[in-house]
């Protein structure tokens, strides 16, 4: 593995790779544009360089080494490298592409919009920058397009101690099967689940993905249908654990089990909490019954302007550390979920009813 791909964080290479949600992919990157094309503050140093006879190509005119991964905690990271000084600033950019050969074969990442979080010094060589996808989903395509047969989602902060299927790992079932709209969804431990859970319980990391869930694609389903179904399942899980259960990585496989495409998204994260709304997740009256009886209604809520924000409001209530903040989150969430603002006449009528 090329450790220079994450320069200057060479000493952190093993840390970033260990338990990562998506291993390192390296290749050649290009950008369409970056920041304001004519920023006033950048004109002075540019003119100074030109007066000294030193010119620097624009970001869109340069190819550069680039790599990306999704670490165990947090969202995807994009590492960008140049032989000379870094031409990027801490700003937004558009049209980042990375083409290379990764652990699953040739790939191309397309990132419609990104934000540079940190860069090398103005005169540091070689130049580098660390960016992240923002406002849009980044897509990683492997080889030629093929029909999708299976979808696997990596979900944050959802966990279970026992499954309800026959597969056994260390004398414990590691698959929890539920039915969502009569479609089978299998929650399964990640192979790194046990050490990751220990790190969470010890407070060494605050959030990570302990399990994935998978489901088969159905006849006539579009990519949008499959993605929407995955996010509906994930947001349903937030009711169970009372925290954000986002999807930082969504993978699409063909009928032979080969990866076709992945999408990377900056998922909102909560600090992991062990509490659950259901006392026994793996029992028939636990998560399986919850999905069987409530998932269809949850889907209808997700397309309603009145209720679609409710899972996020529910998940955020326990995030603040103090009771006053929890109460404020609850009140503001209830206000935001209300699409009808009553007239003053109706409000006064209700007030007189309850306060004669």
In terms of domains, do 183 and 202 share one? yes
From residue 119, how far is each of 40, 62, 230 by CA, in Å? Answer: 20, 17, 35
Assigned domain for 329 exists: no
pLDDT of 265: 93
In terms of domains, do 134 and 29 share one? yes
Assigned domain for 302 exists: no
71-102 b/e (C-beta count within 10 Å ≥ 16 → b): bbbbbbbbbbbbeebbbbbeebbeebebebeb
pLDDT of 60: 65
In terms of domains, do 13 and 103 share one? yes
| pTM summary value | 0.83
| Last residue within a domain, chosen from 142, 170, 193 | 142
User: How many Cα atoms sit within 13 Å of 253 on the Cβ side?
Assistant: 12
Which residue range forms the structural domain that includes residue 110?
3-142
Assigned domain for 263 exists: yes
Q: What is the average per-residue pLDDT within 208-226?
A: 95
Task: Output DSSP code: residue 120.
Answer: -
3-state SS, residue 114: strand
In terms of domains, do 242 and 280 share one? yes
In terms of domains, do 164 and 196 share one? yes
The pLDDT tens digits of the residues spanning 322-342 come to: 666 666 766 665 555 544 444
Assigned domain for 254 exists: yes
> What is the total count of domains within the chain?
2
Assigned domain for 217 exists: yes
Cβ-proximal residues to 346 (8 Å cutoff; 6+ apart), any chain: none
pLDDT of 223: 93
pLDDT of 291: 95
Q: What is the DSSP secondary-structure string of 211-254?
A: EEEEEE--TT--HHHHHHHHHHHHHHHHHHHTS-B--SEEEEE-
Place of tokens 């949008």: 224
Are 119 and 88 contacting, i.e. CB atoms less than 8 angstroms apart? Answer: yes
In terms of domains, do 81 and 198 share one? no
Which residues pair with residue 184 across a beta bridge? Answer: 179
Assigned domain for 303 exists: no
In terms of domains, do 97 and 177 share one? no
| Last residue within a domain, chosen from 125, 142, 159 | 142
| Last residue within a domain, chosen from 107, 142, 177 | 142
In terms of domains, do 7 and 32 share one? yes
* Mean pLDDT, all residues of the chain: 84
3-state SS, residue 258: coil
Alpha-carbon gap, residue 309 to 53, rounded angstroms: 56
In terms of domains, do 286 and 226 share one? yes
The pLDDT tens digits of the residues spanning 114-123 come to: 999 999 887 7
Helical axes 223-241 vs 287-302, angle rounded to 10°: 120
The pLDDT tens digits of the residues spanning 268-297 come to: 899 999 888 888 888 888 899 999 999 999
């Amino acid at each position: 593995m090329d450790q220079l791909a994450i320069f200057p964080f060479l000493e952190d290479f093993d840390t970033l790779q260990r338990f990562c949600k998506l291993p390192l992919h390296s290749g050649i990157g290009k950008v369409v544009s970056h920041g304001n094309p004519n920023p006033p503050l950048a004109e002075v140093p540019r003119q100074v360089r030109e007066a000294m006879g030193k010119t620097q190509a624009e970001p869109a005119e340069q190819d550069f080494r680039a790599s990306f991964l999704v670490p165990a905690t947090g969202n995807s990271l994009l590492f960008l490298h140049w032989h000379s000084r870094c031409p990027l600033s801490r700003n937004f950019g558009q049209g980042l592409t990375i083409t290379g050969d990764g652990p699953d074969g040739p790939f191309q990442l397309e990132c419609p919009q990104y934000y540079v979080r940190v860069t090398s010094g103005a005169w540091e060589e070689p130049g580098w920058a660390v960016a992240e996808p923002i406002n849009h989903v980044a897509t990683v395509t492997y080889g030629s397009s093929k029909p999708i047969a299976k979808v696997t989602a990596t979900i944050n902060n959802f966990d279970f101690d026992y499954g309800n299927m026959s597969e056994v790992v260390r004398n414990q079932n590691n698959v929890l099967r539920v039915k969502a709209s009569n479609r089978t969804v299998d929650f399964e431990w990640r192979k790194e689940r046990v050490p990751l859970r220990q790190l969470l319980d010890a407070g060494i990391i605050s959030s990570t993905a302990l399990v994935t869930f998978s489901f088969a694609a159905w006849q006539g389903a579009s990519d949008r249908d499959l993605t929407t179904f995955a996010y509906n399942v994930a947001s349903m899980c937030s009711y169970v654990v009372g925290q954000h259960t986002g999807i930082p990585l969504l993978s699409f496989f063909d009928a032979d089990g080969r990866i076709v495409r992945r999408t990377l998204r900056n998922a909102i994260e909560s600090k992991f909490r062990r509490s659950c709304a259901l006392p026994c997740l793996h029992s028939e009256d636990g998560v399986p019954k919850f999905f069987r009886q409530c998932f269809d209604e949850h889907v209808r809520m997700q397309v309603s302007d009145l209720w679609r924000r409710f899972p996020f409001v529910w998940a955020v209530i326990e995030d603040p550390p103090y009771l006053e903040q929890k109460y404020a989150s609850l009140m503001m969430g209830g206000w935001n979920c209300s699409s009808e603002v009553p007239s003053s006449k109706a409000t006064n009528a209700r007030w007189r009813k309850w306060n004669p």
